[in-house]
A and B are shown apart, each in its own frame.
Chain A
Amino acid sequence: MKANFDAIIIGGGLIGLSIAYGLARRGHDCLVLDASDTDFRAARGNFGLVWVQGKGSGFPAYADWTMRSSELWPALKDELQINDPKPLGLEQNGGIHICLSQSEFSDRANKLETLRSHQNGRFSYEMLDRADLLKLQPGLGSDVIGASWCPHDGHVNPLYLLRTLHSSLIRHKGTFQSDAAVSNILHQSGIFIVESKQGNFEAPCLVLAAGLGNRILAPMIGLEQTVRPQKGQILVTQKTEKLIKVPMTLLRQTAEGSIMIGDSHEELGFDTSSSADIMAQIASRAKRTLPMLEKQNIIRSWAALRVMSPDGYPMYDQSPKYPGGFAITCHSGVTLSAVHCFELAADIERGKLGVSVQPFTERRFDVSPS
């Protein structure tokens, strides 16, 4: 196997593959180094939402970046489906965020109104009361007061997204190397030398997209990415007739018919076990939202670790010490896949992060001298 590439991307999850494919489709010879089958792999734990509403209410650049990705998603889907017929099932017909109390409803309304005002009206949404909501989604439980509806929201099959990015990369002459955990990164005369379990590889451009692994790898290229694991659990039901008409933040039905139920936010370190108490809470909230789910069999559970930055927003950095070196982290790998593929990859090709993503530098956490 050859050792020299135009770009090496460490991490074969949604971020790594989106960027790698993004570079490969621009004609670059890319190598993706992926870890082992049982590593943490946040990309396998994704819910599958392509979601805009509520994002970036404290960080306008993130709201813009998310909206941009949602606009680019149809183009990504069309392109990927040319390479691999596995149906992505992209639907962008709107989504809802359920509110189970009056105070939740008012808080939500305030949050989204603030967001809209920061975005010069680019983001649209509507607060739906129970009566209007039932027209969209019948069968909601009596605890449901209303919801916020956003026309930009949607969902996709996250595992097929991973697969079609993978196969598209291969189609564009990219190289994917499994079981290639990286132990060290060196730099010499403008070239990054990556030492991995499958051998040493070299390239002038290096992208760290290893999720939680970025914490250890980033310092090797003069960067810092203080990411921590945040556990989320999901339940999955058997396949059933279409009960869920519109995707919700915590409930969606896949094209095959199974219903995905989320979620949790647990700060338990690197624990990926499924726990009965959390699973019960997740099931309870789902039952309150849609009582007709009561008799549905749960056939699978899932737990994965979100890659969390200190403020929950992405971290995009380029190495000042080693130009061509980048570290990319976020926990919305599905939603941002389109903008990573089309725009972030273009920035990386240029060697410089663009204006849209400059606010996501890790240096925003630096405490300024008073």
Chain B
Amino acid sequence: MFRQVKKDQTDITIYINDQAVPAKTGELVAAVLLRQGIISCHKSPKNDQRGPYCMMGVCFECIINFEDGRTEQACQVYAEDDLHVYLPITSA
């Protein structure tokens, strides 16, 4: 299980699939997912589950969706208060 080096360092709330989750300002959304034990974001064309792998924008496996239809890499999005993200794997 992923944990922070120093626990309880959270100051904002983001929403993953409309579920409130504590996060820290400036944290990568991919890190928030991992801390929640979410290691799968989407499915491959052959239906295998995939999730964060490189954390630097190269592998394109940490895919998240936004309400406005945008798709992003979770490791390229910084957490802000009241951010809403959706996982393709659950909305499929």
Q: Is the CB of B45 within 8 A of A295?
A: no
**B8 in the interface, Cβ–Cβ < 8 Å?**
no
Closest A residue by C-beta to B71: A297
* A180 → chain B closest CB, angstroms: 34
Contact of A239 among B45, B68, B69, B70 (CB under 8 A): B45
Complex Cα spacing A238 to B69, Å: 13
A223 to B29, CA, bound (A): 64
Tell me the nearest residue of chain A to B70, going by C-beta: A295
Number of interface residues of B (CB under 8 A): 5
A238 CA to B88 CA in the complex, in Å?
13
Query: Which residues on B sit within 8 Å (CB–CB) of A256?
Result: 45
Q: C-beta contact mask, A153-164 vs B, less than 8 Å → 1, else 0?
A: 000000000000
Q: Give the complex CA separation of A294 and B70 in angstroms.
A: 9
B42-92: which residues lie under 8 A (CB-CB) from chain A? 45, 68-71
Question: Size band of the A side of the interface?
Answer: under 10
Shortest Cβ distance from B41 into chain A, in angstroms?
14
Q: Which of A262-296 contact B (CB under 8 A)?
A: 292, 294-296
State the Cβ distance, A80 to closest chain B Cβ, in Å.
Answer: 22
Query: Nearest chain A CB to B57's CB is how many angstroms away?
Result: 13
Q: Complex formed: what's the CA distance from A239 to B68 in Å?
A: 17
Query: What string of 1s and 0s marks CB contacts (under 8 Å) between A328-365 and chain B?
Result: 00000000000000000000000000000000000000
Q: Which residues of B contact A292 (CB under 8 A)?
A: 69
Minimal beta-carbon separation of B76 from chain A (angstroms): 12
> Which residues of the partner chain B approach A295 to less than 8 Å between Cβ atoms?
68-71
Q: What residues of chain B lie closer than 8 Å to A294, measured between beta carbons?
A: 69
Residues of chain B contacted by A296 (CB below 8 angstroms): 69
Give Cα A297–Cα B70 distance, bound, in whole angstroms: 8
Residues on the A chain within 8 Å of B45, using CB: 239, 256
Per the bound structure, the CA–CA distance linking A296 and B70 in Å amounts to 7
Q: How far is the CA of A296 from the CA of B68 in the complex (A)?
A: 11
Chain B residues whose C-beta falls within 8 Å of the C-beta of A238 in the assembled complex: 71
Give chain A residues whose Cβ lies under 8 Å from the Cβ of B69.
292, 294-296
Residues of chain B touching chain A, judged by Cβ–Cβ distance below 8 Å, are 45, 68-71
Ranked nearest first, the 3 interchain pairs of A and B with the lowest CB-CB distance are A295-B69, A295-B70, A297-B71
8 more A-B residue pairs beyond the given contacts A239-B45, A256-B45, A295-B68, with a C-beta to C-beta distance below 8 A: A238-B71, A292-B69, A294-B69, A295-B69, A295-B70, A295-B71, A296-B69, A297-B71
